Homo-oligomer: A and B are copies of this chain.
Amino acid sequence: MESKSSVIKEVRKILDKNLELRGLRKTPERYAIINEIYSYNHHFDADELYNRMIKKNYRVSKATIYNTLDLLVNIDLVSRHIFKDNLAKYEKSFGFKQHDHIILDNDEILEFCDPRIQLIKNSVEEMFDVEIKDHSLYFFGTKKKK
């Protein structure tokens, strides 16, 4: 099992490489933000991230938060979900098994992973002659009371 600090080290390296490749600047904000994100478990939104960083006396602007989230989503270090209407939620995505979500009535979020989704993907690719790069699957439900 990999230690926590080795994950973030690895992630910073990936970010590094991507910034170089794209000719983007290695600003301290970008590293601070990825650090912060990888210290979380599970989901957060832009406002949450912003507020937590401000509370730690790290000076960032909303603009930078949004810019950086876009960047990180593009290079696949962070993934974006829209669980409820009109609010983007994010979560770290490197080194974590890809998974889908169950959204319960009480806003609880469960995660699962089912290999059959890959089979559906394959069928779809063949049927429509398309190349699928990503998917999102949500189930909506309620906890069964016993």
Contacts and interface: CB of A to CB of B under 8 A. Distances in A.
Interface residues of A, number: 37
Interface string A131-146: 1111111111111101
B132 A135 contact: no
Interface stretch (A14-22, A36-44, A49-57, A118-126): A118-126
A132 B137 contact: no
A131 B124 CA distance: 27
B133 A135 contact: no
Contact of A141 (B86, B112, B132): B132
Copies in the assembly, this chain: 2
A88 interface: yes
B139 A132 contact: yes
B116 A130 contact: no
B136 A142 contact: no
27 contacts: A80-B85, A82-B85, A82-B86, A86-B88, A102-B128, A102-B132, A110-B128, A112-B124, A114-B120, A114-B123, A117-B120, A120-B137, A124-B139, A129-B143, A129-B144, A130-B143, A131-B143, A132-B139, A132-B141, A133-B140, A134-B139, A134-B140, A135-B139, A136-B136, A136-B140, A137-B137, A137-B138
